[in-house]
Copies of this chain bind each other. A is one copy, B any other.
Amino acid sequence: MEKIRKVTIQDVARYANVSVGTIDRVIHNRGKVSPEKRKKVEEAIEKLNFNPNLLARTLALGNQFTVCILIPAAPSEGHYWSMPLNGLEMGSAQFKDYGIITQYFFYDLFDEKTFTQQTAKILEINPDGVILAPLFLNESKLFTEKLKDKEIPFVFIDADIPNRQSLSYIGPDVKQSAYIAGRLMNSILPEKAEILIVNMVKGFDNASALKRMEEGFRAYFKEHGQEQNKHITTLTIKSKQKDEVFRELTKYYIKNPAVKGVFVTNSKAYLVSEFHQNHDLDIRLLGYDLVEGNINHLKSGGIDVIISQSPVQQGQRAVQTLFEFFIQKQEPEKILHVPLDIIIRENMGFYIGFNRQHRTEIKTTTVNN
């Protein structure tokens, strides 16, 4: 296979009878170039179909972009937040040679203070960009306000705060995801049935997201004339701890033994499934995210459907977005809703296998405590 000579800036220079410097000036609209030569250069670029080599450009420029990533810590391997992290690491590895330097900051899902602490550190570092999961509303608002003052672009993943002038939001359409949940729930229940929505909140989470989910879920039944057939109630448990959840479920089921379907609005459906199995309850169950517990209960049949919000892609895409913004000067889409995958036992395996990174040499610059 003989080499196909790639057209370089030299080729263009020769073709247009000018020096590389002039080509450079034309490309970057820098310095003065006489109209005639400019025209000749532009023609040459067009004619030879010249595309600057991004590698060489990056190397020559040598500029760096520090990106701070602020997400919840994943306490274990199978935890939800290990998946976006995985995607973020993939993205970091992919773009590190282009000068994208990522630093990770983890906060405790149950402790706003750790969030604020980490934001302070990030502000001190004064990075070129930030990727964050704004799970604490007020703290996130404060933080992004400061970022805006410093003109540091930021990307939201997983959760959105509208009208924050983020560079982009990459994550699920929360309301629609619950609408889909409604659709799926309806399709696996008999004509008439009682349905329970289970929320688990610790502290003062994103209450608005929960509200939007409930709306979305109920909207499906409303729009499809199922209001008379399906009786939907909501149980909000102020904990994600197993014992506490079990206690509340027991209490509820004793009073409402007719429940036929449960929609769990977070990734802890497996807890409910375990409860059902403990008590031999035949109840349809629907939840979020392909975390380890849910995987097991999908297998065992305790969970019927999981809706997954492309967690790995979210992370990967976020890094890519900043890469395209910094290096290629591309303005990203303000909102990028990721696919909401419908996962059942039978197609589960492919989602687990496909996005696993099989590179060896990934070292993440982790900044802890």
A interface residue numbers (CB < 8 A to B): 1, 3-4, 6, 49, 51, 53-56, 58-59, 64, 66, 96-98, 101, 125-128, 173, 176, 179-180, 183, 187-188, 310, 313, 330, 333, 336-344, 346-347, 349-351, 353-354, 358-359, 361, 363
Contact partner of A97 (CB less than 8 A), chosen from B55, B183, B359, is B55
- Is the beta-carbon distance between B55 and A98 smaller than 8 angstroms? yes
Please report the C-alpha to C-alpha distance between residue A237 and residue B101 in the assembled complex, in whole angstroms: 56
Contact partner of A1 (CB less than 8 A), chosen from B1, B3, B125, is B125
Known A-B contacts A55-B58, A66-B4, A179-B346; the reply to A339 vs B359 at CB < 8 A is no
**Interface residues of A, dominant DSSP:** mixed
Query: Hey, which chain B residues are within 8 Å of A125, CB to CB?
Result: 1
Contact partner of A347 (CB less than 8 A), chosen from B98, B127, B339, is B339
- Is the beta-carbon distance between B344 and A342 smaller than 8 angstroms? yes
Residue of B nearest to A354 (CB): B339
Residue of B nearest to A170 (CB): B354
Query: Hey, which chain B residues are within 8 Å of A58, CB to CB?
Result: 55
* 6 A–B pairs (Cβ distance < 8 Å), ordered by A: A49-B363, A51-B96, A173-B350, A313-B354, A338-B350, A342-B347
Please report the C-alpha to C-alpha distance between residue A148 and residue B64 in the assembled complex, in whole angstroms: 44
Please report the C-alpha to C-alpha distance between residue A357 and residue B66 in the assembled complex, in whole angstroms: 25
Please report the C-alpha to C-alpha distance between residue A211 and residue B59 in the assembled complex, in whole angstroms: 53
Identical copies of this chain, number = 2
Residue of B nearest to A52 (CB): B97
Query: Hey, which chain B residues are within 8 Å of A183, CB to CB?
Result: 344, 346
Known A-B contacts A179-B346, A338-B354; the reply to A53 vs B97 at CB < 8 A is yes
What's the minimum C-beta distance from A365 to chain B, rounded to whole angstroms? 9
- Is the beta-carbon distance between A97 and B128 smaller than 8 angstroms? no
Residue of B nearest to A310 (CB): B354
Please report the C-alpha to C-alpha distance between residue A176 and residue B116 in the assembled complex, in whole angstroms: 47
Please report the C-alpha to C-alpha distance between residue A188 and residue B189 in the assembled complex, in whole angstroms: 11
Please report the C-alpha to C-alpha distance between residue A125 and residue B64 in the assembled complex, in whole angstroms: 40
Query: Hey, which chain B residues are within 8 Å of A347, CB to CB?
Result: 176, 180, 339-342
Please report the C-alpha to C-alpha distance between residue A279 and residue B99 in the assembled complex, in whole angstroms: 61
Known A-B contacts A51-B363, A97-B54, A350-B337; the reply to A180 vs B126 at CB < 8 A is no
- Is the beta-carbon distance between B350 and A340 smaller than 8 angstroms? yes
Known A-B contacts A59-B56, A358-B333; the reply to A342 vs B339 at CB < 8 A is no
Query: Hey, which chain B residues are within 8 Å of A128, CB to CB?
Result: 1
